[in-house]
Amino acid sequence: MASIVLDQGIEETKELTPQQERALQAILDRIEEEEERVRGISKSPTGRVRGKYAHLQTSSEEFAARKREDLDFEEHS
């Protein structure tokens, strides 16, 4: 079903005037910018990586283990 709707949408875009194409592209660009803003993705390459993995969280046990390793390292330095 989704494939049929997509195919219909593609066919309809082929009939757009150049002015309608520009308007559609502007709308799609704004949607993409808003999605990036909501996900916290900046235009920089490093921002894209951080944004891409922003939803991943580590467990509190993993965080505590890393902190212990950091403290041990600082104590032995």
* Consecutive 10-residue averages of pLDDT for the chain (77 residues): 80 87 88 79 54 65 82 81
Q: Give the residue extent of every domain in the chain.
A: 2-76
Tokens coding 72? 């041990």
Q: Is the dihedral of CA 16, 19, 25, 26 positive or negative?
A: negative
CB 47 within 8 A of CB 41: yes
pLDDT score for 4: 83
pLDDT score for 57: 64
Rounded CA separation 6/8 (Å): 5
Tokens coding 44? 């920089």
Residues 6+ apart with CB under 8 A from 54: 39, 40
What pTM was estimated for this model as a whole?
0.43
